Structure 1
């Protein structure tokens, strides 16, 4: 799988409450353990979805060229659906109420949150299935999914990495970023999705 294929897939995986939760956890009381376990939970969830699809033979897509085209089509459809859903829900684009409790999250809760957020969202399920199906249809080894998994987890780890790099300055920066994303979440999602739609189509 090429980087230009993996990148939009990873963006689709984290766009929305997934990345916002990572920012909240990076500003929580036990941010180190919370952030690490959130990413670990997400990694386990994604790997499980891809692996199950792979070992079950994936969704039948025919030959290599056809499966490659179908994967690209799945990416485009996912991004378009996400853009439409984001636009239609722009008036109610407030984060879920449980996000307000993330500043007091426990490591155990953070692990469960990472596992569930990346494992139960329809777009995440479809994306993991698409990756597993692509590998199975093309006779590729399962570890070829590693770039997809690693890139997705890297995006989720970005907020905590900012804290590590910026130190005390992050205590001021990240809350501002979090609040701005809360107030403008639908705009952020639309811009990101539109960028990767163009990237996928070119």
Structure 2
């Protein structure tokens, strides 16, 4: 089981280190309806991660079990394709980065956050977690590692819980911290929002590049 936990860590961190959802959560925490929208967004984010990784864990379980010492061409091809997909996303992020002296523009949907209701925030969190292409690729990688591991259902459940805890922590921690100490957290959260927005493209490019190369390496090792 420790091997599976180690294999899912990069993918879980890839979901966690997602500047746009973190910025969205911070904007909700600084909005007039901070408590309702931020908690709704957090719940949606967690549910989206759970749904994605569980679906791909179940799907990957249909890959025929193989001798641990034998090659695993099916899993290897999937990992290589996932890695190439992440490299393509990395290139796309780099092309969209702000030029020197240019301010980074937030996504247009963020302008609606101030008037957003908790249910809409929950739906947004779910979509950003479960439908976003980058997170989907990470969920596929995590689900593949868990579902094709051959572990008993109980240990697979533990691995899924670990994946979700790591992947969701960067949204959960600011929301919980704000709920516990709203006045003290407002300034630091706004500063973090500005920094993340300015460096979003660079963070995502490096992250996707590293995890993409790791997945390709693991895929090659399966042959």
Q: TM class, shorter-chain normalised?
A: 0.7 to 0.9
Of residues 77, 102, 105, the one that matches 2:113 is 102
- TM-score normalised by structure 2 residue count: 0.72
**Structure 2 residue 26 is the aligned partner of structure 1 residue 23:** yes
* C-alpha contact 1:42 1:117 (8 A) present in aligned 2: yes
Give the match for residue 8 of structure 2: 6
Question: Which is greater in Rg?
Answer: 2
1:197 and 1:129 mapped to 2: Cα distance? Answer: 13
1:126-167 superposed Cα distances (whole Å, 9 cap, x missing partner): 222232232222222240211001111112213223424653
- Aligned match of 2:98: 91
User: Is 1:174 aligned with 2:176?
Assistant: no
Once the 2 structures are TM-superposed, how far is the Cα of residue 102 of structure 1 from its aligned partner?
Answer: 1.4
Correspondence for 1:151 among 166, 175, 184: 166
Unaligned runs of 5+ residues in structure 1 are none
- Residue deviations 1:39-90 (CA, integer Å, cap 9, x gap): 2212222222222233344473763574886787577545533432221111
Larger mean CA deviation between 1-10 and 20-29 belongs to 1-10
Structure 2 residue 43 is matched with structure 1 residue 40: yes
Cα deviation, residue 172, structure 1 = 1.8
What's the TM-score, normalizing by structure 1?
0.78
Aligned pair in 2 of structure 1 residues 61, 189: CA closer, same or farther (>3 Å)? farther
The separation in 2 between residues aligned to 1:130 and 1:124, in whole angstroms, is 10
Aligned residues: CA RMSD: 3.3
Q: Which consecutive residues of structure 2, in runs of 5 or more, have no partner in the other structure?
A: 218-223
Over 3 Å counting, the alpha-carbon distance change for 1:147 and 1:74 in structure 2 is: farther
| Per-residue deviation, 1:171 | 1.6
Distance 2:8 2:176 in 1: 21
Q: Find the counterpart in structure 1 of residue 221 from structure 2.
A: none
Shift in Å at residue 108 of structure 1? 0.7
